[in-house]
Amino acid sequence: MSNTFTLAFVLKCCSILPAFEEGKQVHKHVIASGEMQKGGVEPDEVTMVSVISACAMTGALGLGKWLHTFIGKKGIKNDLEVSTALVNMYAKCGCIEKAHEVFEAMPVKDAKAWSSMIVGFAIHGLAKEALETFAKMEEAKVEPNHVTLIGVLSACAHGGLVVEGRKYWSTMLESGIEPSMEHYGCMVDLFCRANQIEEASPSSIRAPQCRELHTTFELICIGITLGENEHSKKANEREGNQGRSGCSSIEINGHVHEFVMGNWSHPEAKDIRGIIWEVSERVQSVGHEPWIASVLQNVGDGEKQDALWEHSERLAIAYGLLKTKAPVIIRVVKNLRVCVDCHEVTKTISKLYDREIIVRDRIRFHKFVDGRTIGELNLGGAFNTYGE
């Protein structure tokens, strides 16, 4: 990035961050930081932690990297909180190696720092690394907290490590950490992925009555009995009932651009439409069959195909194709799960356009290179990660 950027510029960029869910919180942080600037207060560790966390939430890797350099240049103390925010930011923005580098360089690490690294590995599907880091945390005699355990249990679930998952679960209960819905969710996920459905039922893991958890369990069971497609369809219906629309963001030259499903209000909408049209022609010409079951509206098949091309991540990817050139990686952050058709189409785009694409959805990272997905597990349809 250009070195003419100032912190004020970064804050200005952040102030136009998307207003969906997490974005609201970002906005608040940024206003607070902006106020500090106006009052003539120099950016300090506290401001940096807020802004770096804002970058982590929205996947603004460019800004995050710039802030990292800025901290060094301005001589801002790279303390425990700042370093932890950087580890979290790099991990959430898809740069797990860089996250690990910052983590390794930390002279002192508290539970929050260890947890950020463990959760980071877990969301990247790196179960072995997450558990090794947890072992080192125990060696260093740092007491794990509930976030650490979410990282450990979800790593076990992603890695299909049932025996280990059970072991950590009992240790956690013995150590007196009160399990939260997230912990129960990880255990349901762990058993279901291993096809141990009875073990996975909320009553088996002694989970309290909770609608969300029961819905998760039910959806996973539907997935196993009806197969992947029907599972996604049911999941779609559930997600649709919650009334949330798909929303994806992409950072271009330090600005975060937000795209909502079927919304063409972007100033460069005409060019984006052009790219979408070209991409759809090319993708279809290599034999892609649109998976129209991903579309919930009660319309004809032709309209369903068109609706798929308006999914928010496609708009964001198209904008990435329009504004950047290889080898720049197209990085998109999405608020819901990626649907089956978008997953397949993105794979094809990565090959046809020779571009690396990384999509972070509500659950995990999807990395597409040369028509393939990298580091994703074959879950055999038992519990897939799709469904807009």
Least distance from C-beta 337 to Zn ion, angstroms? 9
Per CB under 5 A, 342 contacts Zn ion: yes
Which one of 74-82, 115-123, 186-194, 304-312 is the stretch in contact with Zn ion (CB under 5 A)?
Answer: 304-312
User: In DSSP terms, which residues pair with 179 in a beta bridge?
Assistant: none
Of positions 260, 339, 349, 359, contacts Zn ion by CB under 5 A? 339
3-state secondary structure of 302: helix
**239 versus 388: smaller Cβ distance to Zn ion:** 388
Nearer to Zn ion, 137 or 339 (CB): 339
Q: What does the DSSP 8-state code read for residue 18?
A: -
Name the segment binding Zn ion (CB under 5 A); options: 111-119, 186-194, 265-273, 335-343.
335-343
Give me the numbers of helices (H) and strands (E) for the chain, helices first please.
18, 6
For the range 376-380, what are the long-range contacts, defined as Cβ-Cβ under 8 Å and sequence gap of 24 or more? 376/125, 377/125, 377/158, 377/159, 377/160, 379/193
Whether the Cβ atoms of residue 95 and residue 61 lie closer than 8 Å to each other: yes
Number of residues that bind Zn ion (CB under 5 A): 4
CA 356 to chain centre: 16
156 vs 275 by CB, closer to Zn ion: 275
Contacts of 166 (CB under 8 A, 6+ apart): none
Site for Zn ion in 310-329 (CB under 5 A): 311
Q: Does 213 bind Zn ion (CB under 5 A)?
A: no
Nearer CB in complex with Zn ion: 138/310: 310
Based on the shown chain and the rule CB under 5 A, indicate whether residue 388 belongs to the binding site for Zn ion: yes
Q: Report, in Å, the least distance between residue 388 CB and Zn ion.
A: 5
C-beta closer to Zn ion: residue 88 or 346: 346
* Closest CB to Zn ion among residues 276, 342: 342
Q: Token digits for 293?
A: 């079951």
Three-state secondary structure call for residue 365: strand
In the chain, the amino acid numbered 102 is: V
The CB-of-386 to Zn ion minimum distance in angstroms stands at 8
**8-state DSSP, 4:** T
Q: Which residues bind Zn ion (CB under 5 A)?
A: 311, 339, 342, 388
